[in-house]
Amino acid sequence: MIPHSIETSSPAETEALGAELAGRLHKGDVVLVRGELGSGKTTLVRGAARALGVADPVTSPTFSIGHRYRGRDLTVSHLDLYRLTALEDEDPALLDDYLGAGKIAFVEWPVQEADGLARACLSVTLSHRGGDRRHVEVRDGERERTKE
């Protein structure tokens, strides 16, 4: 993955970027998605999930830390850890259902010291640029992507 930085000017463009990123992912991969509220994290994940064959509506997890969707030949996990301040206070098994073999996981607003997330292969950071414009930066994560 070549790190890059682009600007989008509509939700559709951010979804398309999510779809492009999805094409480079493999089962077992974890993608961290950072950015302020309303910056487009869920929108980007929606585009990625679509591209991975998810037909169900992709919405923000509200009553749980995440959703799991059936994709083409894999599970797409979408976590929102906004409400968690520190993972070490939580049950270590909290993330187990969402990460691992056969799954690609997108994690919104990850806490800083998240052990389970050390395996992240890609990190996306979104920020507001006024109106519908968003800046999106894509970087390699803390760990190399899974090779298949």
**Smallest distance, Mg ion to C-beta of residue 147, A:** 30
Q: Tell me: does residue 60 bind Mg ion (CB under 5 A).
A: yes
Q: Give residue 71's Cα distance to chain centre.
A: 15
**Which residue(s) pair with 5 in the sheet?**
137
132 binds, among ligand ADP, Mg ion, none (CB under 5 to 8 A by kind): ligand ADP
Find the binder of Mg ion among 14, 39, 42, 43 (CB under 5 A). Answer: 42
Q: Are 138 and 122 in contact (CB under 8 A)?
A: yes
35 binds, among Mg ion, ligand ADP, none (CB under 5 to 8 A by kind): ligand ADP
Sites of contact with ligand ADP (CB under 6 A): 8-11, 13-14, 35, 37-43, 60, 108, 132, 134
Pairing state of beta strands 4-8 and 134-140? Answer: antiparallel
Pick the closest to residue 17 from 30, 4, 28, 29 (CA basis). 4
Encode 52-89: b = buried (16+ Cβ within 10 Å), e = exposed.
bebeeebeebeeebbbbbebeebbbbbbbbeebeebee
Region of residue 34 (phi > 0: left; psi between -120 and 50: alpha; otherwise: beta)? beta
**Smallest distance, Mg ion to C-beta of residue 60, A:** 5
9 binds, among Mg ion, ligand ADP, none (CB under 5 to 8 A by kind): ligand ADP
Ranked by CB distance to ligand ADP, the top (closest) residue is 40
116 binds, among Mg ion, ligand ADP, none (CB under 5 to 8 A by kind): none
**Residues making contact with Mg ion (CB under 5 A):** 41-42, 60
